[in-house]
Amino acid sequence: MQSPRLGGGEGREALFSRRRNWAVGGDMALFGSLGKKLEIVSADDALPGRLARMPIPTTHVITGEPLEADFTGFGQIMVAMGCFWGVERKFWEAPGVISTSVGYVNGITPNPTYEEVCTGRTGHTEAVRAIFDLSVTNYEAMLTLFWENHDPTQGMRQGNDAGTQYRSGLYYYDDKQKNLVLASRDAYQKKLTAAGFGEITTEICEVPEYYFAEEYHQQYLAKNPNGYCSLAGTGVSCPIGLATD
């Protein structure tokens, strides 16, 4: 399926090639050195962005539910685990998840484009927001998906994808989620250490402003089943059912 943002007959193979070039600092004239992309940009050097929000589809390709709505009564989780295409699929396939979307978070530039995020000059990381039915699943199950399906010890990269946009992040909506996040991190760190991994580098903070990514990124792997997916965990299981008192 051809991306609406890629003219001239380019398809998903071209987008894959461009993504990988950006990830390893391939277009040096436009994007600068890889070293620069491994540091969060300063406010003075960040791109200006824009006021207009990104237009998005009204419904989810898989579930038919809205991407944006009043989700009162449902659970929510916001995560960053590297390339958001595979992350979003991991969550929409999870039992109880009714809607997912991809976007850019915890940076400086308002309403950035994908191309801008890839420069490393917006400060954002690629993120996924998942909405789930609390009668079917819970936040702890979502945390397990988060920890077990990427490597949270890699800093500004996931596998071969390097840059600030690929950093690990976990963003809480309230104090209850915060307590669960911190407890799960501490418990998982013990298991990672025992397995020979380093320190967790996941950024953890209150949910930042969420800027939706372009329409063609939403449920990308549903529209392009053979598209790029770099999602890979450590092979270390995460404890669940953690006490928060």
Q: Which helix (H) or strand (E) holds 99?
A: strand 97-105
Distance of CA 30 to the CA centre of its chain: 24
Q: What pLDDT sits at residue 22?
A: 44
Q: What pLDDT sits at residue 15?
A: 52
Q: List pLDDT tens digits, range 89-126.
A: 999 999 999 999 999 999 999 999 999 999 999 999 99
Q: What pLDDT sits at residue 190?
A: 97
Q: What pLDDT sits at residue 19?
A: 52
Give the whole-angstrom CA distance, residue 135 versus residue 73. Answer: 10
Enumerate residue ranges in the chain where pLDDT < 70.
1-36, 241-245
What six digits make up the tokens of 241? 């059912």
Give the whole-angstrom CA distance, residue 125 versus residue 143. Answer: 18
Provide the residue ranges of all domains of the chain, joining segments of one domain with +: 12-223
Beta bridge partners of residue 171, listed in sequence order: 78, 205
Residue with tokens 């600030």: 164
The CATH T-level fold of domain 12-223 is: Peptide Methionine Sulfoxide Reductase; Chain A (3.30.1060)
Q: What angle do CA 152, 188, 138 make, to 5 degrees?
A: 95
Q: What pLDDT sits at residue 240?
A: 72
Residues carrying an active site annotation:
83
